[in-house]
Amino acid sequence: MTHLWVRAEQRANEERTGLIPEGAAALVAAGIAVTVEESASRAIPIDGYRDAGCTIATPHSWPDAPRDAIIFGLKELPEDGTPLPHRHIMFGHAFKGQGAGCALLQRFKAGGGTLYDLEYLVDEDGRRIAAFGYWAGYAGAAVTLKAWAAQQRGAICGRVATYPGKDALTSALSSELDATGKPRPSALVIGALGRVGRGAADICEAMGVSVTRWDMAETASGGPFPEILSHDLFLNCILARPGTPVFVPHSALEAPRRLTAIGDIACDPDSDYNPVPVYDRATTWDQPVLRVATNRVLDVMAIDNLPSMLPVESSHDYAAQLLPSLLTLEDIGAGVWGRARQVFERHLKEL
C-alpha cells in the first residue's frame, strides 16, 4: 500500500500545508495510507485529519517513518547533513545553482532517497500542475506596498505577520496607505499573465495603485528596461531560468529613477539567473526588506514563503490543485512523478 507521510513544517512562520482534510479523506478512500504529524503551527487543525482516517504522528518523527513511506512537506528540511533514504515531496530549491541545493542533493545521494520537487511537477506540456503563485503575488505586492508606505514616513518596513484572511490584509494595508497622505504609487508587474503576476496586480488594483502589466512580449528584447525605473514599485513575478533578462542591474542604484521599492516575489537571489542582482539574500518576516541604496532609497522585498501570510486560503487553493496528482502516487514512476524524478536524477549525476 502506498503510504504518504505529511510532516510538520519546521520553519518559522510556515503555517501552510499541501494537503487539507478533505484531500486526505479522498486519498484514504483511494487506498492510500496517510500519516499526518501534529503541528502547533499548521493553519489547518489536526482533528480534521483524524476524522478523515489519517494516522496521527508526533511532530518531526518522519526520519523514523517506514522506509517505503513518501514524505510530504513544503519547505526545507533541517540542515543537519544527515543522509536522506526516503522519497520526499517538497520544494527543494536545488536545481538552479542555489548554494544550499548542492548540499541537499548530496544528502539524497548519500541516503539513496529521491526528491520529487514540487516546482518541477509538470504536465506533458511542461506546465506546473500546482503552485502557490496567486497568493505569493498577492502577499508579496502587499509587503512591497507596506515598504513604500514606510518610506513615506521616513522609515523602513517593519515586521510582517500572518492574517486570518485576505480581507483583514487589505483592510490593514489600505489604512497604512491612507495614513501616508500621498497619492497611490505606480507599479510595474513583470509576469502579469501568470498566477503570481495576477495576484500581485489584483491587490495593487484593489488598493488603487496604477498597474503596468508586462509579460514575455514586453521583455523579449532582453533589456535594458528604463520603464521599470520610471515606476514607484517593481514587482518581479517570473522564476529565474537560463535566458531570463536582467531587469534591475547594479547600475540602477546610481541612476536617476522614480523606483524606490522592488518586490522580488520570485525570490531567487542565490540563482545564477537572478534577474534582480541588486541584492544577494532573501529577506525575512522580521526584516521584510533589504535597503540596497540610501542616497535615493531603494528597498528590496524578497521573502521566500509569502503565501504563508494567508495560510488558510493558500493551503486550500494549493491542495486542490495538487490532489489529482497525489491520487496517482501508486504509479509514482509515471506521469508528473516520473518527470520530476528524471529532473532529480539528471541533477544528481551532475554533482
Report the catalytic residues.
75, 93
Whole-angstrom distance, CA of residue 202 vs CA of residue 216: 19
User: What's the distance, CA 136 to chain centroid?
Assistant: 6
| Count of beta carbons in the 10 Å neighbourhood of residue 308 | 27
β-pairing, 289-293 vs 298-301, is antiparallel
HEC readout, the chain: CCEEEECCCCCCCCCCCCCCHHHHHHHHHCCCEEEEECCCCCCCCHHHHHHCCCEEECCCCHHHCCCCCEEECCCCCCCCCCCCCCEEEECCCCCCCCHHHHHHHHHHHHHCCEEEEHHHCECCCCCECCCCHHHHHHHHHHHHHHHHHHHHCCCCCCCCCCCCCHHHHHHHHHHHHHHCCCCCCEEEEECCCCHHHHHHHHHHHHCCCEEEEECHHHHCCCCCCHHHHCCCEEEECCCCCCCCCCCCCHHHHCCCCCCCEEEECCCCCCCCCCCCCCCCCCECCCCCEEEEECCCCEEEECECCHHHHCHHHHHHHHHHHHHHHHCCHHHCCCHHHHHHHHHHHHHHHCC
